[in-house]
Structure 1
Amino acid sequence: MVVATEYVCSLVNNSCAVNRIAGHQDDRIKNSNVEYLPATWIDMPDIAPFILVSDAQLSARIEANESVFAAENSTVLVMSEPQWFYVQAVNVRCEIIQADHLSRLIGTIWINRLFAMVIVINCWPMPIVRLVCRHHRNPALKRVLEMITDALMNVAYDVVIPYAILYPYQRDFNTTTRMFDGTVYYQDGWFATTTRNLQQLFISSWFNFICTIGPGFSMLSCMSTIKFCVHPQNNRVVGANAHGMDTLRVLGRGIRIRNAYLRLTKVASVILSSAGLFVLIIHLHATLVANLGGNSGCLLELRPWFKTKYTCVVLEASCTRQGVNAPQLALEDAVSEMDPNGIRSLVLSHCPQIEMPTQIRALLGLEQLKIYNSTIKTWEMDAAIDASTKPGLQFVYIIETNMSGIPPALLHRDLPLRLTDIEFSGTNLTRIPADLHEYWSHVQFLCLEASPGITEIPPSTAQMPSLSQLNLAGNVIAAVPDNQFVANAFYSVNLGGNPLHSLPIELGFTLLLHDIRIQHTKIASLPLKWFQEPPPSNIWGTCVIIMAGDSPLCDKLFANETDVVEGSTVPVPVNRTGLNTFIVDGYLVDCTSMPLQRFYPVEYERAWRQKNL
């Protein structure tokens, strides 16, 4: 017969509040050998709120004021009820912040809905699971269900949603050329969408970093807790006898502790349920604003939370669709009915008389401006593009448009510094200002193509220090001055489709030069000076490519003629490396025949504009 002292061990705050009961004799524990209680019991007061300790070894530990819980799992992350609620509260807060951020950046409707659903489901498992499992005999089941639900929602948050944002780029990326197809850069909203997707995918601040990784740590702790709920420690604990259970009735302190936990559970359920309801209401409000304020000219909309105005990222003002001659009305609607700061790309199309309205200055967030199939009547300084009202503007495309000259609103010294790409394709321009370099010193890509009125290379382009790509295809340029490219450091020069007979003898700085395009020209030979010096090599260590399809130069190469260098008295070595490619003393000449195409994808542009025709 073993004599032991019985104790009531109330589990609270990760400690054992011990109350001595009485000494008595118990035949059932004479063969027991319990040294510790399971460590997980510390963190599961709803599973084992009161433990009757009547084992000799445990009693000795309690008398010596030593821990009665197993220490081997002390380093394992197992969450108690209060800890789990605090972690959930932090996670939900992080997810709400991220969802608000996503609603302002991502225009894909189903992704926004999925994110909102994830938060709502993450807020509601505690009350729902506890309601369903309130009569279940295994209290650990509700903890497991709560943790599994939380872990699954974190997988959707950390894996599914980021991959859904990234997938379109993975699908469209050409692994052979290691780049996207050139037409995607001109699609309505592609650039605006891509920049915002990258902001959502990548970390932009320390606060964003914390909000992003927080749910990941929560998922890890959930997995650890589930492990110890499903597979508890195999420790033996002596059951309580009838005498011991009677003595529990006098321990009011233990009852108060349990009631406190029940109150905490109810409060936590109410708080999390309210947070889920709040997210649901905010998301429905954003959806309602988008549905009520929808504009048929909006090609890409956002549904940001806490906004009372319709947010359109890409807006097309089509005069044909609205039955007007000028786009003033559409811009007035954009400023009055939409959030003007939300418009990132503006398309003015099918307008026979554009008198650029001053409302364009109110579009402070504009990044891309496109004018298609229109006639620019006036575009004065009162509607000018400047750094103060358009600090983020980067692209100006004027396509298939009538204009007597470059508008004054684009010819001043206060243009946005980020405006690096200006393209004119299919216009009736006849003159380019001689002082263009003074206004466009920061422009890197200049396109003046398919303009029959352009008969010479604008001399001012020789003084544009940032210019790296010059496209003059499809004009009526008959000659290029020999010193035209001396001061330039081009990546690409396109002179195709011009009635050129010769090329300039100077190429300028060739460190970045990748290709020279002279398809559909009358050029029959290359300048001698190009071969009097070592062939240029670029930073990639490759030959400079001369694309000369459908030119007399390629006719000579196909005929195995060697007089392909103007004025050379010594034959220049020519090696055929492929069906349509030749190496001419260090230059790679590509003679592939193809129709003359504009650099700007006009055919795609016509298809894009069909929606609002």
Structure 2
Amino acid sequence: MRAMPPTSSAAPVDPHTRTSSRARSRLASLHLVWRLQSRQFLVVWCFAVVFHVGYAVAYGVELYQYVYFLPESVTELRLTYRELGIRTSFDTLQRYTFIVSTGIIVLWHSVQVLTTLKATCAHDGLLSGWKAFFTIDGKYFELGTDVRAIIEIVTQILAIRRIGRAMKTLWLHDLTVGALVLNCWSTPLLRFIWRHEPVKWRFVRLFVGSVIAACFLVVVQLRLAWDVTRLDNSFRGFDVARNTEYRYATELYFVSDWLTTVSTRVAAVSAILTLGTIRSKVLARARRRGSVIVPIVGDRATTFDAAPHVSSLVSHDSPAHRVSNAVFLLLGVAILVTHVFITMRSSAVAGARCIVRVRNGVSTRLPCAALEINCYRLGSAGAADDITKVLQHFDFDVLSALRIAHCPALEVPSSIQQLNSLALFELYNSTLVQWGSDAALSSRHHPSLGCVWILNGV
């Protein structure tokens, strides 16, 4: 009689248990548990809501200014800007691109605030339908972080260059430079601090990136709006400083070139993605106290006992990370050294006084938006060569206003035709003895010139 094959003594497998295990495994690969205490959860909630509100307000003010106060739509402002030499040659397509994109950004942030508040009231948590392109447990999150940092750094450098050339508020320039340096250093420093906790460093990096972006897109934008409104409603008269500040603040606020248009829109989109990623990590309260389940993609959240193993996180010790860390650190050092050099550079020139001081990158000449040359302090009667020697110390690209004062025998130098950014020229308490054709003021040499003041002079 043939022997029967031995039968297995193992207990039969319940098909429901097998299905549940597979579902559990699949959810573990798609979800990330981030345990938050009540206070921590409140901080995250406030962070997301406050920053969305801040962006909505900042871009709402920008949209209001573009729609109602753009020089093309207000005759009085257009005439005032022309008088001060403020450029108003806005490209129509570029203007409407700015208006439409700004409106979309305002609408997006407003909708996200309402969605978050509604979901919080209904589910005691932060609900978000936004699916971030790079998720915290994504395979390419590290690469995405580096690419996003590069894009942010480039746009922030362009913003700092504009701010330094046009703003008298030097503390704001220092703030933005500090934020830029922090942006360069944050990725390698956070990688090192939380090198054994990659999930935590990724989450903190998103928070830091949002704060840095807000310095440029919220603080700077609202400060510019304040300056434009304040100077527009104030009496400027024959005040060289106020008129120069008004010109540059207006040109800085109302973007009129495509490079700035594209860079600011890219920065805004990057900020939206970062905030969207943060919001997507806090979906709802877990039933168990002190924990929250954070769905990254796809399916509905499911509570399970232990945190899933995130297998896609990569090591921080890879050669690519070491190279990127070194590049970011060196770039931050270079920016910091350059800024210190610019701020410590002396602007003292005999016979000259910088009325409105600005910062213009690494130019070898002194950046000054409004300059006064005093012949009495210079020890000169006003000879053309003496005036030219003083002018050669300053950067012609940012010199918007020039006042020549107290010259008993003034000879207007031919070098004045090199001041291609000149918008205001004033002669005060001076006697003209020579103003030749080689020193003539013309639209070809001075396309922005709007005012010539001769006060107490002959």
Q: TM-score, normalised by structure 2?
A: 0.62
Matches within 5 A, 1:490-509: none
**Aligned equivalents of 2:248, 2:28: Cα separation in 1:** 45
| Cα deviation, residue 121, structure 1 | 1.2
Answer yes or no: is the 8 Å Cα contact 1:318–1:351 preserved in 2: yes
**Which residue in 2 is equivalent to 1:268?**
324
**Aligned equivalents of 1:286, 1:122: Cα separation in 2:** 20
| Cα deviation, residue 188, structure 1 | 1.0
Deviations 1:439-478 (A, max 9, x none): xxxxxxxxxxxxxxxxxxxxxxxxxxxxxxxxxxxxxxxx
Deviations 1:131-177 (A, max 9, x none): 222355xx432122111111011111101012222323333554xxx
**Aligned equivalents of 2:397, 2:379: Cα separation in 1:** 26
Q: What is the DSSP-based 3-state SS (H/G/I as helix, E as strand, rest coil) of the residue aligned with 1:324? A: coil
**Which residue in 1 is equivalent to 2:217?**
158
Q: Does 1:277 align with 2:336?
A: no
Matching residue within 413, 424, 437 for 1:381: 437
**Aligned equivalents of 1:293, 1:347: Cα separation in 2:** 15
**Which residue in 2 is equivalent to 1:207?**
259
Taking structure 1 as reference, are residues 111 and 221 closer, same or farther at Cα in structure 2, changes over 3 Å only?
same
**Which residue in 1 is equivalent to 2:23?**
35
Calculate the aligned-residue CA RMSD, in Å: 3.5
Q: Does 1:168 align with 2:227?
A: yes
**Which residue in 1 is equivalent to 2:277?**
225
**Which residue in 1 is equivalent to 2:168?**
107
Q: Does 1:345 align with 2:406?
A: no
Structure with higher strand content: 1
| Cα deviation, residue 346, structure 1 | 1.2
Deviations 1:284-336 (A, max 9, x none): 23224455779742212221113111122211111222232225355222333
Structure 1 runs not aligned, ≥5 long: 5-25, 45-71, 175-179, 246-253, 403-613
**Aligned equivalents of 1:390, 1:208: Cα separation in 2:** 23
**Which residue in 1 is equivalent to 2:146?**
85
Structure 2 runs not aligned, ≥5 long: 1-9, 33-127, 136-140, 283-292, 296-300
**Which residue in 2 is equivalent to 1:13?**
none
**Aligned equivalents of 1:38, 1:312: Cα separation in 2:** 62
**Which residue type is aligned with residue 128 of structure 1?**
L
**Which residue type is aligned with residue 240 of structure 2?**
D
Q: What is the DSSP-based 3-state SS (H/G/I as helix, E as strand, rest coil) of the residue aligned with 1:297? A: strand
**Aligned equivalents of 1:236, 1:387: Cα separation in 2:** 72
**Which residue in 1 is equivalent to 2:180?**
119
Answer yes or no: is the 8 Å Cα contact 2:352–2:373 preserved in 1: no
Answer yes or no: is the 8 Å Cα contact 2:350–2:378 preserved in 1: no
Deviations 1:405-451 (A, max 9, x none): xxxxxxxxxxxxxxxxxxxxxxxxxxxxxxxxxxxxxxxxxxxxxxx
**Which residue in 2 is equivalent to 1:303?**
359
| Higher deviation after alignment, 206-215 or 284-293 | 284-293
**Which residue in 2 is equivalent to 1:395?**
451
**Which residue in 2 is equivalent to 1:356?**
412
Taking structure 1 as reference, are residues 293 and 161 closer, same or farther at Cα in structure 2, changes over 3 Å only?
farther
**Aligned equivalents of 2:157, 2:376: Cα separation in 1:** 42
Q: Does 1:371 align with 2:359?
A: no
| Cα deviation, residue 282, structure 1 | 2.5
Taking structure 1 as reference, are residues 121 and 330 closer, same or farther at Cα in structure 2, changes over 3 Å only?
farther
Answer yes or no: is the 8 Å Cα contact 1:335–1:362 preserved in 2: no
Taking structure 1 as reference, are residues 269 and 325 closer, same or farther at Cα in structure 2, changes over 3 Å only?
same
% identical aligned pairs: 20
Taking structure 1 as reference, are residues 380 and 225 closer, same or farther at Cα in structure 2, changes over 3 Å only?
closer
| Cα deviation, residue 274, structure 1 | 2.5
Answer yes or no: is the 8 Å Cα contact 2:352–2:390 preserved in 1: no
**Which residue in 2 is equivalent to 1:94?**
155
**Aligned equivalents of 1:30, 1:389: Cα separation in 2:** 82
**Which residue type is aligned with residue 83 of structure 1?**
G
Point out which structure has higher relative CO (alpha carbons under 8 A, 6+ apart): 2
Deviations 1:248-288 (A, max 9, x none): xxxxxx99x94588444333322322332232222223224
Taking structure 1 as reference, are residues 260 and 145 closer, same or farther at Cα in structure 2, changes over 3 Å only?
closer
Matches within 5 A, 1:527-566: none
Taking structure 1 as reference, are residues 294 and 216 closer, same or farther at Cα in structure 2, changes over 3 Å only?
farther
**Which residue type is aligned with residue 411 of structure 2?**
E
Answer yes or no: is the 8 Å Cα contact 2:231–2:246 preserved in 1: no
Q: What is the DSSP-based 3-state SS (H/G/I as helix, E as strand, rest coil) of the residue aligned with 1:299? A: strand
**Aligned equivalents of 1:294, 1:270: Cα separation in 2:** 44
**Aligned equivalents of 1:172, 1:344: Cα separation in 2:** 17
**Which residue in 2 is equivalent to 1:195?**
247
**Aligned equivalents of 1:211, 1:140: Cα separation in 2:** 30
Answer yes or no: is the 8 Å Cα contact 1:39–1:73 preserved in 2: no
Aligned residue pairs, count = 330
Q: What is the DSSP-based 3-state SS (H/G/I as helix, E as strand, rest coil) of the residue aligned with 1:397? A: strand
**Which residue type is aligned with residue 159 of structure 1?**
V
| Cα deviation, residue 3, structure 1 | 8.1
**Which residue type is aligned with residue 389 of structure 1?**
H
Answer yes or no: is the 8 Å Cα contact 2:131–2:276 preserved in 1: no
Q: TM-score, normalised by structure 1?
A: 0.48
Answer yes or no: is the 8 Å Cα contact 1:289–1:308 preserved in 2: no
Answer yes or no: is the 8 Å Cα contact 2:351–2:377 preserved in 1: no
Matches within 5 A, 1:36-51: 37=25, 41=29
| Higher deviation after alignment, 109-118 or 319-328 | 319-328
Answer yes or no: is the 8 Å Cα contact 2:131–2:277 preserved in 1: no
Answer yes or no: is the 8 Å Cα contact 1:298–1:315 preserved in 2: yes
Deviations 1:181-227 (A, max 9, x none): 2xx14211433332322232233233322211222222222223223
**Which residue in 1 is equivalent to 2:113?**
none
Matching residue within 149, 152, 160 for 2:208: 149
Answer yes or no: is the 8 Å Cα contact 1:302–1:311 preserved in 2: yes
Taking structure 1 as reference, are residues 356 and 207 closer, same or farther at Cα in structure 2, changes over 3 Å only?
closer
Q: What is the DSSP-based 3-state SS (H/G/I as helix, E as strand, rest coil) of the residue aligned with 1:337? A: coil
**Aligned equivalents of 1:323, 1:295: Cα separation in 2:** 8
**Aligned equivalents of 1:2, 1:270: Cα separation in 2:** 57
Taking structure 1 as reference, are residues 343 and 400 closer, same or farther at Cα in structure 2, changes over 3 Å only?
same
Matching residue within 134, 154, 174 for 2:195: 134
**Aligned equivalents of 1:99, 1:261: Cα separation in 2:** 33
